[in-house]
């Protein structure tokens, strides 16, 4: 009897621990943003209050799979919206692995022309799985429930365009939720920042994902003054060969009293935003449909109606 009771208590303890972990992974009416620790690369998981999952970039290797396994709810194998900021290996590699293992419902990318076997495989898998694929351009918004994704850059379609510096083909997104904002910049450098500044977009954001892993080629003085972040997140690997984050960037942030967190120092970083942080809003259950608001048309997960399906440029190898 004593042995049976001990066994029952052990099982109950294990179940309680697993249940507690499962609850920790659920948003419970909050917006959760995990800046995943994938080494020298970017990978960000956004979990909406309605339990939609947005994945921005995938890091340089398969470590994304481990990271997702630690933050997604058990048996969760759906990604509602995937964003590839630009096709450098340290942003795209993990996304290829996700496409092989998860059900991805829609993908946004810049469409830039770039010769890279990983990029070719990424496009080939999307084509073979018939996943809706969209080209990012400024002033075209996407909405998942209460989450608004405002595309800030590229200013115009880059589909099929070749660029000398692929970093500057990065998709830049300003996320809005109940009066809170987070700015995701990919690897966009000062040239892109200056182009955005000239347009006059509202860039204010409490949280800034610092451009290009904290490189001195991004996070310009004028750009930081426009964003006015309280917190900067830097995604870079420990003891990386590039010396990221650069001292120049850290000094600019510190001078503005911006708190800094980085994957190389802090590991995986989670930002949690409640709807009550700024305004006393009650979160209402929203549809899980992805809505495209750029020209008033809707893209639904159940009945996709894209503005225009992406052409695959350059042509994929047979």
Interatomic CA distance for residues 173 and 115, integer angstroms:
25
Q: Quote the pLDDT of residue 312.
A: 36
Q: Quote the pLDDT of residue 57.
A: 98
Interatomic CA distance for residues 209 and 261, integer angstroms:
10
DSSP letters for 271-313: EEEETTTTS-PPPPP----EEE-TTS----SSS---SSPPP-S
Interatomic CA distance for residues 122 and 92, integer angstroms:
8
Residue 60, pLDDT > 50, answer: yes
Q: Quote the pLDDT of residue 29.
A: 78
Which letter does DSSP use for residue 113 in this model? B
Q: Quote the pLDDT of residue 109.
A: 96
pLDDT over 70, % of the chain: 77
Residue 295, pLDDT > 70, answer: no
Q: Can you give the pTM of this predicted structure?
A: 0.81
Query: How far are the Cα atoms of 114, 130, 157, 303 from residue 138, in angstroms, in the given order?
Result: 21, 25, 9, 25
What's the mean pLDDT when you consider all of the chain? 83
Q: What is the pLDDT of residues 21-49, one digit of tens each?
A: 444 445 457 999 999 999 999 999 999 99
Q: Which residue matches tokens 């510096």?
A: 165
Domains in the chain (CATH in brackets) are 28-292 (3.60.15.10)
Residue 242, pLDDT > 50, answer: yes
Picking from 50-59, 141-150, 247-256, which range would have the lowest pLDDT averaged per residue? 141-150
CB contact at 8 A, 197 and 221: no
Tell me the mean pLDDT in the region 78-96: 97
């Amino acid at each position: 009897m004593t042995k049976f009771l001990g066994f029952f208590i052990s099982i109950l303890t294990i179940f309680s621990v697993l249940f507690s972990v499962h609850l920790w992974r659920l948003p419970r009416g909050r917006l959760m943003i995990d800046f995943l620790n994938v080494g020298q690369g970017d990978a960000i998981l956004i979990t909406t209050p309605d339990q939609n999952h947005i994945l921005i970039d995938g890091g340089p290797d398969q470590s994304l799979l481990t990271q997702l396994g630690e933050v997604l709810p058990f048996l969760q194998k759906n990604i509602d919206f995937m964003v590839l900021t630009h096709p450098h290996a340290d942003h795209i590699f993990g996304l290829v692995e996700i496409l092989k293992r998860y059900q991805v419902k829609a993908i946004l990318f810049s469409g830039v022309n770039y010769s890279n076997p990983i990029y070719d495989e990424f496009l080939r898998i999307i084509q073979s799985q018939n996943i809706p694929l969209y080209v990012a351009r400024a002033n075209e918004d996407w909405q998942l429930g209460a989450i608004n994704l405002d595309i800030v850059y590229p200013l115009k379609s880059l589909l099929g365009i070749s660029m000398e510096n692929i970093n500057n083909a990065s998709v830049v997104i300003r996320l809005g939720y109940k009066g809170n904002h987070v700015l995701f910049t990919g690897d966009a450098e000062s040239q892109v920042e200056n182009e955005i500044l000239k347009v006059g977009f509202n860039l204010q954001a409490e949280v800034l994902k610092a451009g290009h892993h904290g490189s001195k080629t991004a996070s310009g003085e004028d750009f930081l003054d426009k964003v006015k972040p309280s917190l900067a997140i830097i995604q870079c690997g420990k003891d990386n060969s590039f010396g990221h984050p650069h001292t120049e960037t850290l000094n600019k942030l510190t001078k503005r009293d911006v708190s800094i967190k980085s994957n190389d120092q802090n590991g995986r970083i989670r930002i949690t935003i409640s709807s009550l942080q700024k305004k006393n809003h009650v979160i209402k259950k929203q549809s899980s449909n992805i809505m495209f608001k750029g020209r008033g048309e809707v893209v639904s997960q159940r009945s996709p109606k894209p503005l225009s399906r992406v052409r695959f440029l350059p042509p994929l190898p047979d």
